[in-house]
Amino acid sequence: MSERVRRRVVVHGHVQGVFFRDSTRREAERRGVAGWVCNRSDGAVEAVFEGSPADVETLVEFSSSGPRGADVRDVEVVSEPPEGVRGFEIR
């Protein structure tokens, strides 16, 4: 089994109401990345990505731009120990 990594991202800007969560879910499922994504009460979107280093990095990069209509101003990225989560969900 290949190495797994986990990243938590918090995306700031105009990122709610632009299908950011669903677009993130589709990208994650397409790449076999596990985790979750949710809207926060402060207007940010938070997500956890867990999978191969290359696939997780692709999702982190996607978060830096988001879907069409998003205006990403800042992305916080934190490395965390993998927890072995499976599947990807919108919370």
Which residue out of 6, 7, 21, 25 is catalytically annotated?
21
| Residue 59: how many other CB atoms lie within 10 Å | 24
Which residue out of 39, 68, 73, 91 is catalytically annotated?
39
Q: 73 and 87 in contact (C-beta within 8 Å)?
A: no
In the annotation, is 21 catalytic? yes
Q: Cα(70)–Cα(84) distance, rounded to whole angstroms?
A: 30
Q: 36 and 89 in contact (C-beta within 8 Å)?
A: yes
In the annotation, is 40 catalytic? no
What torsion do the CA atoms of 65, 66, 72, 78 make, to the nearest 10 degrees?
A: -90
Q: Which residues are catalytic?
A: 21, 39
